[in-house]
Structure 1
Amino acid sequence: MKRKLLFGERMLLGDGTEPFNAVIPFRLHGIFKEEEIRYALGRLQEKHPWLKALIQYDEQHIPWFQVPEATVSIPIRLVNRENEDDWQEESKQEWHSTFDYQTKPLIRFVWIKGEVVSDMLFVFHHCLCDGGSAMALLYEFLKVLDNPNAEIGLENPILGIEDVVPAHILQSGKKQFKAKTIGRLAALAIKCIPVGRKVIDRQTDYLIHWKFDKKTSEQLISYCKSRGITVNTFLGATVLEAFRKVRGAAAFNKVSCPVDIRRFAPQIKDDHIFAFGLMIVMSLNQKLNFMDNLRLMQTEVERKTAKLNPYITMMVMESAHDALKNFTRLLKRGKSSNDCMFSNLGRIQIPDQYRTFSLETVFSPSVIGPLGNTTTMVTSTFRGQMDFSFMGSEGYLPQAEALAIRDEIIGRIRQQLDYKTAS
């Protein structure tokens, strides 16, 4: 089984010399044997063919996912657990470790082993899967770890764009012409945009983590419901306000927000291994107060989201493979134009209680890569607690400023919740 990498997957893969890795950390209470973990990982590979895939290049040096006849098991790295924050240091180490993807799969596993508490990390190359896929894999892994006989099914894998874009759209002459025209114009524009001679030195990477307790998380969700806005819009506006307060004129007043393609393309199932994302941008109106901005931003988010078209977007990108080099060059060397990437995974729908262990928490995933500004914030909610991971690099956003932004975000959220309580 094999398939060519799509445009976005090739962009994330790069030439293989620079890692672009996503890390999904979680904490378990229980006692485990290594063979139990290996068995559960093996079951994941049995279900999902692309978890066995290697990267092979054809005569035109185009990369393909290719499943070998003899399965290469998911590598496990064992670490002794010394303290509560070991998972953060191991996450940063995994960011910087490349995948030997021509001989090993694009997924590995880290077990930070304690006596009764273990922190574990799934590590993926970002070209393999997105956050939605990762959460499905975590759910299946825990299910099999708890019960080796558990049924998790078999994935019918995506073998190309034709498995995502409906035939009547993919084969439409008008749609093909539109996609190719947009793709050619975009490729020309990208080629003409001036960029620096050197890749920006991102210097030291860092990870900042924090979590709201259950009461604060519930208050935040209630606050948003009472005002008719989503948690995502509220947090996006708060992030923008915090960047403006800390960075002043250096702030861009833009955050990019991934949108799960599964909302628009039902062909992509929750448990599909897939890494294609859609995107919208949030900005504040500098002349409005926070509450008016929330209402305006919610309207804008709904308008932009409604206009998203995953099918045409994929067709445009697939028509532009010859522009990949210029696009990558622009991302690496062009000037940053947004403050950060902000991703809200929402509620993680995974059980916390099992027969022989319990899932104490799922830390929000972290991801960092070589394609421009690394500043990224990911939030998720598990067991009623909202969790935040804030990644960045000194060369784009000094850690001292990132810590000030974190404090500003926490302070502004508490201020809004206190105001609501008082009123």
Structure 2
Amino acid sequence: MKRKLLFGERMLLGDGTEPFNAVIPFRLRGTFKEEDIQYALNQLQGKHPWLRAVIHHDEQNIPWFEVPERNLPIPIRTVSRNGEDHWQKESEREWQTLFQYGERPLIRFVWIKGEEVSDMLFAFHHCLCDGGSAMAFLYEFLKILDNPSAEIGVEHPILGIQDVVPSEILTNRKQKLKAKLIGRLAATAIKCIPVGKKAVERKNDYLIHWKFDKALSQELISYCKSMEVTVNTFLSAAVLQAFKKIRGESAFNKVSCPVDIRRFAKQIKEDHIFAFGLMIVVSANHKMSFSENLRLMQESVERKTSKLNPYITMMVMESAHDALKNFTKLLKHGKSSNDCMFSNLGRIQIPHQYKEFTLDTIFSPSVIGPLGNTTTMVTSTFRGEMDFSFVGSEGYLPYAEALAIRDEVIQTVKLQLDHIAVL
């Protein structure tokens, strides 16, 4: 089984010399055996063919996912647990570790082993899948780790654009022409945009982590409902305000927010191993109050989201493979134009109580790669607590400023909730 990488996947893969890795850490209370962990990982590979895949290049240097006849197990690295924050150090190590994708799978596992508590990490190349896919196989892994005979089904993998874009759109002459025309215009425009000779020096990467307790998390959710805005919009507004206050004129007033393609393309199932994403950009009007801004931003988010068309977007990108090199150069060498990417995975619907162990927490994923500004904030909610991972690089956002932005986001949330409580 094999398939060509799509445009977005090739962009994330790069030339193989720089990692673009995502990490999902989680904490379990219980005792475990390595053979049981390996068995659960093997079962995951049995369901999902692309978790067994390597990447090979053909004679035109086009990369292909290819499932080898001989099964290549997901490697496990075991280290002794050294404190509550040890998982952060191992996350940062996994960001920097290249995948030997021609010889091994694009996923690996880290067991931070303790006597009664273990932290575990799934690390995977971002060209393999997104956070939604990763949460699906995390759920399946825990299910099998608890009960080796549990059924998790078999994935019918996506084998190309034809498995995502309906045939009546994909073969429509008008749509094909439209996609090709937009692709050519974009490719030409990208060539004309001036870029520097050198990419920005990233310097040291870092991870900042924090949580909101159940009470604060629930207050925030209730406040957003009363304001008729999403938690995502509220937190985006808080992030924009924090960047403006801390960075002043250096702030761009732009946050990129991923939108799950599964909302629009129902052909992509929750458990599909797939990496393609959609994006909108959110900005604030700093002349307005925070609460006034929320409603305007929510209207903007809904308007932009309604215009997203995953099918045409994919067709445009697939018509522009010859522009990949120029597009990647633009991302790497062009000036940053947004403050950060902000991603809200929402409520993670994975059980926490199992027969053999307890899933104490799932830390929000982190991801870092070489395509421009690395500043990324990811939040998720598990067992009623909002969890935040804030990733950055000194060359784009100094660590001290990132800490100040975190504090400002937390203060903004609390001030808004205190204000509503007083009213």
TM-score range, shorter chain: over 0.9
Which residue of 2 is the match for residue 126 of structure 1?
Answer: 126
Count of aligned pairs: 423
Residues 167-189 of structure 1 show CA distances to partners (whole Å, capped at 9, x for unaligned) of 00000000001000000000000
Which residue of 2 is the match for residue 106 of structure 1?
Answer: 106
Please tell me the residue identity of whatever aligns with 2:150: A
CA distance in 1, matches of 2:394, 2:101: 29
Question: Is 1:55 aligned to 2:19, yes or no?
Answer: no
Residues 381-416 of structure 1 show CA distances to partners (whole Å, capped at 9, x for unaligned) of 000000000000000000000000000000010011
Which residue of 2 is the match for residue 289 of structure 1?
Answer: 289
Which residue of 2 is the match for residue 68 of structure 1?
Answer: 68
Q: Give the % identical residues.
A: 75
Residues 303-336 of structure 1 show CA distances to partners (whole Å, capped at 9, x for unaligned) of 0000000000000000000000000000000000
Which residue of 1 is the match for residue 354 of structure 2?
Answer: 354
Please tell me the residue identity of whatever aligns with 1:119: D
Listed as ranges, the matches of 1:6-405 within 5 Å are 6-405=6-405
Residues 223-268 of structure 1 show CA distances to partners (whole Å, capped at 9, x for unaligned) of 0001100000000000000000000000000000000000000000
CA distance in 1, matches of 2:224, 2:231: 6
Instruction: After TM superposition, give the deviation of residue 292 of structure 1 in Å.
Output: 1.1
The gaps in structure 2 that reach 5 residues or longer are: none
Instruction: After TM superposition, give the deviation of residue 216 of structure 1 in Å.
Output: 0.2
Instruction: After TM superposition, give the deviation of residue 286 of structure 1 in Å.
Output: 2.4
The gaps in structure 1 that reach 5 residues or longer are: none
Please tell me the residue identity of whatever aligns with 2:259: V
Over 4 Å off, 4+ runs: none
CA distance in 1, matches of 2:98, 2:319: 29
CA distance in 1, matches of 2:35, 2:127: 28
Residues 36-55 of structure 1 show CA distances to partners (whole Å, capped at 9, x for unaligned) of 00000000000000000000
Please tell me the residue identity of whatever aligns with 2:288: L
Please tell me the residue identity of whatever aligns with 1:58: D
CA distance in 1, matches of 2:361, 2:289: 36
CA distance in 2, matches of 1:421, 1:151: 47
CA distance in 2, matches of 1:356, 1:135: 20
Instruction: After TM superposition, give the deviation of residue 146 of structure 1 in Å.
Output: 0.3
Instruction: After TM superposition, give the deviation of residue 352 of structure 1 in Å.
Output: 0.1
Which residue of 1 is the match for residue 413 of structure 2?
Answer: 413
CA distance in 2, matches of 1:291, 1:379: 21
Please tell me the residue identity of whatever aligns with 1:43: Q
CA distance in 1, matches of 2:129, 2:349: 18
Instruction: After TM superposition, give the deviation of residue 420 of structure 1 in Å.
Output: 1.0
Residues 274-302 of structure 1 show CA distances to partners (whole Å, capped at 9, x for unaligned) of 00000000000122111111000000000
RMSD between superposed Cα atoms in Å? 0.4
- Give the 3-state SS of the residue equivalent to 1:152 in structure 2: coil
